[in-house]
A = this chain, B = another copy of it.
Amino acid sequence: MTLNKLSVACCAVQQTARYVAARSYATASTSSFKAKDVEITRTKSPAAKPDVSKLKFGHHFSDHMLEVDWSESKGWEKPRICPMKNFQIHPAAKCLHYAVELFEGMKAFRGVDNRIRLFRPMENMKRMLTSAERSALPTFEGRELVELIKKLISIDVDWVPKASKEQPSSLYVRPTYIATEPTLGVAISTTAKLFVIIGPVGPYYATGLAPVKLLADPQYVRSWPGGSGGFKMGCNYAPTLYTQTKAASHGCQQVLWLFGDDHQLTEVGAMNLFTFWVNEHGGQELQLTMAEYFF
């Protein structure tokens, strides 16, 4: 068994340069929405907050959300922070048929000093922009989105839970970007929606922070050279659900994804993977395995 060599978290940055701009909408794609233009509508009916001791992952959402619409004709519109609501989506929207969608996952933590901290949000922005280019969606200025996320969190600051050793929790931040053009051709979308929803979360696994069991079966392959496994696109997740049911039937919480005849370790389910082992010379080694950018 071999291990992929160590990849660093900032490889998204280094790889961006390899991309040729995917779209020709030079005017629209080189511009960006601005945080200072945000229009804020506050809810008149704030929701009750969930019991922190019973938080699951991704089941609760705060009172407000952020959305920014883009179209080829108008470029980026003004960002809006508004009460959490359902979207009106046309049944032919490209995100519902061809999975033209991508996301990020970030967390905001309430410290013992009661201040709120985001963990290196610009790294998420860099990856998000790389995913956008790979999805042929227009880019934007990452720091503008970070400013908007900070504004959104400040409005819903009471939703950031107070964590403790016994009850680990945080505010999960989910920037999402979907193609909305209501036509059925497999083609670049001329309209899109960027949005951010936030909500308090407990540990991702129902087992809490206890170790998880992994299914390693070489017949299921999640990412491959020339594919999109190195990007945070929705398309990389749908095919994993079936495999997850196989894992569950073996009493495993997640899948250890393998690749190639020598069963290279590529990824574990929804996270990166640290491997600690004693090598052939008796030395101890620790390595991080994560999806690499294949092209």
Asked if A295 is at the interface of the complex by the 8 Å CB criterion, the answer is yes
Give a binary string over A148-173; 1 marks a CB under 8 Å from any B CB, 0 the rest. 00000000000000000000000010
> Contact between B241 and A186 (Cβ–Cβ < 8 Å)?
yes
> Contact between B195 and A91 (Cβ–Cβ < 8 Å)?
yes
Asked if A124 is at the interface of the complex by the 8 Å CB criterion, the answer is no
- Copies of this polypeptide in the complex: 2
Give a binary string over A243-257; 1 marks a CB under 8 Å from any B CB, 0 the rest. 011100100000000
Within 8 Å CB of A136, what residues of B? 241-242, 244-245
Binds B, one of A92-100, A108-116, A282-290: A92-100
In the complex, A184 Cα to B233 Cα: how many Å?
14
A84-B91, A184-B172 given; A239·B245 CB < 8 A: no
Interface residues of A, CB < 8 Å — how many? 70
Asked if A293 is at the interface of the complex by the 8 Å CB criterion, the answer is no
8 Å CB contact of A227 from B96, B224, B234? B224
Tell me the A residues contacting B by CB distance below 8 Å. Answer: 20, 22-23, 56-59, 61, 65, 84-92, 95-101, 103, 133-136, 172, 174, 176, 178, 183-188, 195, 197, 204, 218-222, 224-228, 233-242, 244-246, 249, 269-270, 295
